[in-house]
Structure 1
């Protein structure tokens, strides 16, 4: 009934059934529900309808206990209900029937699916007309039920494998992200930042675009720890990264180099624009006191800036230039920046 050279997902199979059963079994809607792993609930998985908006969609779930579907699984034979409104009047508590009737369904053919004698789920064929289904439709489905069930089960197992693989990929990505982040501040750790710097230096050499490497050091940070404790120092570090991070452009990077020292990579920037950018960083720290827990205290930061405008520079050379500029800023009184040209 359905052939393919690749593995197929459940919705591929069910979409093909919706298209391919025309002329075999009459319907305006087909739905598929699977038994839960414990066999206690029916979970709607898929539906296609030409009747309009659907009231039973993917995820709709009902307990099997007390459901008429238990009899369908017991007999193993398709069930015909040729007047759903009448059936609902006789079974007013049937939530699923209420929803199908609300969609416009007036008759249904419920076909159980078995694999190796085990119930897998159900295909529901629904028509907007009453008295549509006949014994011949039951017989037709019974002839192909085994093939349909095997095909759906195979695609279901393959889809579960795909989804499991996707889950593992997401988990691996999350682990990589955690491994690249500083545990305290959440910014890039030293290893991850240096990798990004190397990549941008290579790109800069190829394109000729200027970039800036900024080394930032919180002034008198040891005094914060000694006076207020390490918890206050941690709040200061997180506050610093929050304020600076809010000013970064897309494509810029912030990383913790060690202790109270941080590196910022400012990509695709002109040397003339760098001083204004670094001044915004400085003012963002100095202009507003930090909440350190039990006290609010003003902090300042010194900045050393290396301008990279020539190709062939290595990361350690650029960092050394920024470090020397930072030393000059501290020697000149702190709470300022010094800019230097990085040369190989």
Structure 2
């Protein structure tokens, strides 16, 4: 029985076994073995079914099957940190395999025993168990399992920096079992940990993501969850907390249904890290406490020590030094008993900071000095932390003495200068916020306000630079939210002001109805019609005019006389000394104009009715002038104090309604622009900048849609993996710019060879993937050959260079039982590998696709 199996094989076994009316015991056992982490509940059901079958027809020769079943139960207990049950089941399994003289099975028990020992920080037992596993595997002539032990050992030693061990295991794995998902996934995990610990977080993130894909394919779900969490941690260290939070969320979707302490603890630890980075220390402490609770059964493991150390650091940030000191002591004890020396320096620095906060400055300084001395020359990060702690302790305790050779004004500045001189030789180093903050405090303590301000300005500049990078991603959304909120607040403020005014006037009921109707619409024409109707019902209105302000000019927009529309009249500049409308706008209040019968107003428009009473009022929202409204009556002295109050309130309601309408119009335009900008950003986010092809992210998203469509319509779906032959020599001979031109030419040819509905995407480097919906294997092979020939026929011309291109192509087809495109891509990549191995400039199909053509 294989130690690990690729997902495709497990899915095929699953379908065959579960479809059988009476599956064979061997099939039940094999499926349970391979889904033990992917589907633990299914594994338990299969074991129960297997036990019933074996019980009905007991055969002593089946002891190996019973032992394998016990080994599965041991692993399930290990995953839930039920170590006592795991040890018991491991003993049962060992006895069964010994009775059956099954050396492969005995090796498997020792391998699982090494995982049990690892989680309990029993280092010597772990190393012995791996050695015993290898011994039994060699006797059983199982080279794959022997190599698996080497790889697991490299994983175990990745935190101690044993690079030669990883290099040896990697070389053997790639040479003997290339693309094996379990071995490749574990190697990616170990390599990513090396990159992470060395500060290369981008490389670590990529390696963890690659490991995640491999490990999921191998069914090693616990390690896969660790990859997801650590991938997020790498991006978090780069300040991309959004990606880190998404990784945590994705990891929790796998961890929560399984309830595995190590997985849940890791996820919650990472979640606490996100909260801590965002300054939400209470939430960070809550997450860390929950992580600690999950990990208590593993209270000597490395992750337990790391979580409790993080918990103590957050607690200290919350100014709870006594609680933090107790938590650091718990972490120290766990690290010492669990043999985790690489974390002790960080813990001792934390203890020193606690002592300083508790008023024990001399003891704190002595401990920090000891950590700095112990880490000098081999642990740069711990040494830097210790030196920072020394400076912080000396700032908190200025009476403590400095070294005899000190030349700086204060001991704190002496150690800060030493740290600065050490760090400035590191390539691309820039001082962090904490260092600059302590510098500013130290110089202020030394009495130099100018130097303190200089470092504070440097700190502010560093913070601003970091904040600018984070804020860029949020500008569009924040802008839209801000505009909408501003309009809402302004409208709400005006409604409150006018409600108060209505109460003061004593005509709240009638004006309330008018206000509700006027402000119920965002169409200016509807507002004007409603205004005219209500003004005519409550006042003597023979004519009504509305001017709207445009560039310091009042433009006549709505004019009624006797219920009918009349000539609009002329535009009125705001500075027109003779226009009453302009005067009302300038003075900001209503103006009553009365003419005695027989007199002709100087502003009368020939051909219109004579008006003897006129009110002009500004349409204002706060201090914002929108326009002017005027009502006229053919009666002399038609507008007394009450009418003027009603007019004032109607004008105010109208101003709010017009303000809302104009704000809505502006917001609609802004929203439309933002939507267009977002669409453009999304379009660019889905394209490869060099070739103009779709990028890998777009391919994976689109593939999911095409898989669903193909499944629903019972259609085929094919994948071409295209790789430019001898690409590196092109770069080496003609330069990278020529290589870029070769990629562009290849992309153009590919676009010309496929249908509009086909997807062409740059997958990475010189690899391009073509997704062919509704395309059977035979037709996909024809398309691939057409592409190959077309590319051969092209010549790349770049500057003074001319060269021809060829490509190798792997062809694969998606299978209906696959939920994702990853397996088809992997098979296409394997076919591409065979094409390269057969001389390049050829098309090769994977076995499944070739079988489809044969049938």
| Residue 66 of structure 1, CA deviation | 8.4
Distance 1:3 1:252, change over 3 A: farther
Moved more, 143-152 or 211-220: 143-152
| Residue 33 of structure 1, CA deviation | 4.4
Question: 1:256 and 2:788 equivalent?
Answer: no
Counterpart of 1:15 in structure 2 is 525
Counterpart of 1:297 in structure 2 is 803
Counterpart of 2:605 in structure 1 is 82
Map Cα deviations across residues 52-101 of structure 1 (whole Å, 9 max, x no partner).
Answer: xxxxxxxxxx99788988556226679967359xxxxxxxxxxxxxxxxx
Contact kept, 8 Å, 1:211 with 1:268, in 2: the verdict is yes
Distance 1:18 1:221, change over 3 A: same
Distance 1:207 1:135, change over 3 A: same
Find the partner of 1:73 among 581, 585, 588. 585
Counterpart of 2:695 in structure 1 is 189
| Residue 240 of structure 1, CA deviation | 2.1
Map Cα deviations across residues 309-343 of structure 1 (whole Å, 9 max, x no partner).
Answer: 53325423211221122233334443332334359
Counterpart of 1:323 in structure 2 is 829
Question: 1:114 and 2:624 equivalent?
Answer: no
| Residue 300 of structure 1, CA deviation | 2.0
| Residue 266 of structure 1, CA deviation | 1.1
Contact kept, 8 Å, 2:759 with 2:770, in 1: the verdict is yes
Root mean square deviation, CA, Å? 4.5
Q: Distance in 1 between matches of 2:800 and 2:582?
A: 65
| Residue 262 of structure 1, CA deviation | 0.9
Question: 1:205 and 2:711 equivalent?
Answer: yes
More relative contact order, 1 or 2 (CA 8 Å, 6+ apart)? 1
Contact kept, 8 Å, 1:219 with 1:300, in 2: the verdict is yes
| Residue 212 of structure 1, CA deviation | 0.9
Greater Rg over alpha carbons, structure = 2
| Residue 219 of structure 1, CA deviation | 1.6
Contact kept, 8 Å, 1:254 with 1:265, in 2: the verdict is yes
Map Cα deviations across residues 182-202 of structure 1 (whole Å, 9 max, x no partner).
Answer: 332233332332232234234
Map Cα deviations across residues 244-294 of structure 1 (whole Å, 9 max, x no partner).
Answer: 234443432222221100111111223343233334433442223223234
Q: Distance in 2 between matches of 1:250 and 1:111?
A: 62
Q: Which structure has more strand as a fraction of its residues?
A: 1
Moved more, 110-119 or 300-309: 110-119
Map Cα deviations across residues 196-249 of structure 1 (whole Å, 9 max, x no partner).
Answer: 223423432333210111100112111211111111111221232233234443
Contact kept, 8 Å, 2:758 with 2:770, in 1: the verdict is yes
Aligned residue for 2:777, secondary structure, equals coil
Q: Distance in 2 between matches of 1:148 and 1:188?
A: 52
Moved more, 63-72 or 218-227: 63-72
Counterpart of 1:152 in structure 2 is 658
Counterpart of 1:271 in structure 2 is 777
Q: Distance in 2 between matches of 1:26 and 1:311?
A: 79
Distance 1:191 1:332, change over 3 A: same
Structure 2, unmatched stretches of 5+, are: 1-513, 566-571, 594-602, 608-615
Using the size of structure 2 for normalisation, the TM-score is: 0.29
Distance 1:70 1:199, change over 3 A: same
Aligned residue for 2:697, secondary structure, equals helix
Aligned residue for 2:709, secondary structure, equals helix
Task: Tell me how many residue pairs correspond in the alignment.
Answer: 292
Aligned residue for 2:811, secondary structure, equals strand
Q: Distance in 1 between matches of 2:575 and 2:789?
A: 67
Contact kept, 8 Å, 1:34 with 1:121, in 2: the verdict is yes
Aligned residue for 1:273, secondary structure, equals helix
Counterpart of 2:748 in structure 1 is 242
Q: Distance in 2 between matches of 1:238 and 1:26?
A: 74
Counterpart of 1:129 in structure 2 is none
Distance 1:276 1:66, change over 3 A: farther
Using the size of structure 1 for normalisation, the TM-score is: 0.65
Question: 1:227 and 2:733 equivalent?
Answer: yes
Q: Distance in 2 between matches of 1:114 and 1:267?
A: 60
Contact kept, 8 Å, 2:758 with 2:771, in 1: the verdict is yes
| Residue 47 of structure 1, CA deviation | 9.2
| Residue 172 of structure 1, CA deviation | 4.2
Distance 1:22 1:312, change over 3 A: same
Contact kept, 8 Å, 1:206 with 1:311, in 2: the verdict is no
Q: Which structure has more helix as a fraction of its residues?
A: 2
Q: Distance in 2 between matches of 1:31 and 1:247?
A: 64
